[in-house]
Each structure stands twice: as structure tokens, then as C-alpha cells.
């Protein structure tokens, strides 16, 4: 699917690393290194502005390697870029690790995944159908 994009950075466009990848890697467009202390977060510029077709969103997701090796994740994961948003895509990174993490210009900082979405059409009713689970939640089905 075509998505219109303006790339104001010197980075290449987000790319799929393998032919069956669901997400394409997005890079930091920061001009200087950004240090993220343990327990802190930073909003990282990508230099990308997009026009997503109606009925779709782009989700911003963490990169598994950053999470596994450094404890770095996307704070509002998955972050949603709505079809009517025209501002710069920025990625909120959170450092759950023990050491300062440095984001350098051009570093891969997240993944972008295009998804089809449907909007809810609410149907107000006096009661819901009964199920075996009922209102049980938050661990009510037991532990492993």
C-alpha cells in the first residue's frame, strides 16, 4: 500500500529488514546524540511526515533487540499514528535498563507497522449476553 511521505532527514526511508517482516525500522533524525538515563524517557525525532490512507493507522512498536539488550522500549507501545495526523513522527523511548543509553543520529529506534482499522459503531443495550467468564478479569482465569 502506498503511503505518502516527506523525509526531512538525511536517513533512508524506513525499510523492512527481511521479505516477511511485519514492521519496517525507523531511524533517529536527531542531529546530536541523545542520552536516556535509567528510568527516563526521550522523544526522538524521525524527520518523517506521512499521509496515511483513511481506514488505516501506523503503529510505532519497540525493536526487540533494543529491549532485550538494553531495556529500551517504546513507552506508549504500540503508539498510534492516525490517518489524519500530519505532524512529524516521533518515538517516545523509555530506558528500563541499568545504564545510560545513547541514541545516535541514524540509529534504528523502532518499527512502523501499517494496520487496517475500523471505527466502533456503538449499540446501546440494557444488558449483555452471559458467558462462562462473565465479569472476571485481571487474573481471574488463574495462573500458569
pLDDT of residue 134: 82
Q: Is 109 exposed, middle or buried, given 0-12, 13-18 or 19+ CB atoms closer than 10 A?
A: buried
**Mean pLDDT, consecutive 10-residue segments, the chain of 144 residues?**
97 96 97 98 98 98 96 95 98 98 98 97 95 80 68
> Which residues are paired to 57 by β-bridges?
115
Distance of CA 17 to the CA centre of its chain: 17
Q: Does domain 4-11+23-116 have CATH number 2.70.40.10?
A: yes
pLDDT of residue 144: 64
Task: Mark 28-60 as b/e (b = at least 16 C-beta within 10 Å).
Answer: bbbeeebebeeeebbebbbbbebebeeeebbbb
Domain extent listing, the chain: 4-11+23-116
pTM comes to 0.88
pLDDT of residue 135: 82
Amino acid at each position: 500500500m502506498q503511503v505518502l511521505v516527506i523525509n526531512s532527514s538525511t536517513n533512508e526511508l524506513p525499510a523492512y529488514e527481511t521479505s516477511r517482516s511485519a514492521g519496517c525500522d525507523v531511524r533517529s533524525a536527531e542531529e546530536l546524540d541523545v542520552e536516556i538515563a535509567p528510568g527516563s524517557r526521550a522523544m526522538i525525532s524521525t524527520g518523517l511526515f506521512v499521509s496515511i490512507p483513511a481506514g488505516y493507522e501506523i503503529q510505532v512498536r519497540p525493536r526487540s533487540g533494543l529491549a532485550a539488550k538494553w531495556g529500551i522500549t517504546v513507552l506508549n507501545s504500540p503508539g498510534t499514528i492516525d490517518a489524519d495526523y500530519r505532524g512529524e513522527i516521533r518515538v517516545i523511548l523509555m530506558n528500563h535498563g541499568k545504564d545510560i543509553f545513547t541514541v545516535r543520529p541514524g540509529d534504528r529506534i523502532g518499527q512502523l507497522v501499517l494496520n487496517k482499522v475500523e471505527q466502533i459503531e456503538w449499540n446501546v443495550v440494557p444488558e449483555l449476553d452471559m458467558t462462562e467468564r462473565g465479569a472476571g478479569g485481571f487474573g481471574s482465569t488463574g495462573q500458569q
